[in-house]
Chain A
Amino acid sequence: MLLRIVIDLLIAVGLIFALAGTKGILKMPDTFCRMQASTCVSTLGVLGVCLGGLLYAIFVMGSASAAVKVALIGALIFFTNPVGSHAIAKGAYQAGIRPEKKMEIDDYGRDFDE
């Protein structure tokens, strides 16, 4: 019983952070801030749901293979997500997308724009 509560709590926490990230993606003022908010979904959102799923697979289903797969899904998201985020952010900047409100400090633009 206690175990189910812990599992539900973990998944709920993950979903709350996913909700926060989604709200950020819809409401943030510019492209780069939206990307920052999306990181929320893919870190604590995924971590919470994966931990919950991991506990469920180990203690409720009693299946080692399912547990390992859940852990691998989490690990793979953690390894691949930053590479994608970095590439999208850099690509967006180089394609000429700028925030409407001027950024306070923009060293990248200073050093790499002609």
Chain B
Amino acid sequence: MSINFNYWQARIGKPLIFALCLLPFLLLSFRLLNNQLGANPIEVFTRSNGEWGLRFLLITLSITPLKNILKQSWPMQYRRMLGLFAFFYVFIHLSSYLVLDQFFDWQEIWADIIKRPYITIGMSAFVLLIPLAVTSNRYMMKRLGRNWLRLHKLVYLIAILAVVHFFLLVKADFYWPTVYAVLLGLLFTFRLRKYCSLPLGK
């Protein structure tokens, strides 16, 4: 039974999830190239990829609670891929800002990084994601041993920075940043409950 399940996962589950994760990027790119992102396509492309980066961070963080709730280990099989997609979307978001939005205006970009808290924070979140992406392979996991887990706890800080970044760039309407903050709060609560060893249900 478990052999069949693994087979299904490797042959169908993973490619399927991979394709689904890539879909937002493909759709956004297609619409950008075909001038279907409205009057200010660069703004929509940059912002949408950023939102997908945040969504994938939260999805990645929901794997462990999901595993605990289902009492099954298979969700863990997808965690690395989802985490790398979070990095992918944040990378596209940043590239879109640097290339499409600022068009390599380094003076302006540097001024943004040091003067604008939302850019400083967003950039920090990206920089902190790099070591996580680099050490996401099996080799680095083995090499880092217990430190791997310590290092990857950075994801909590990154998620907080990402939500703060969203809050700081919004003009008056805080609806969506609040939604993400609440979701992140829920994901943290799950973990706190576990660490405080409060029984779940029983």
- Decide whether A and B are members of one complex: no
* Chain B contacts to A: CB under 8 angstroms: none
* Chain A contacts to B: CB under 8 angstroms: none
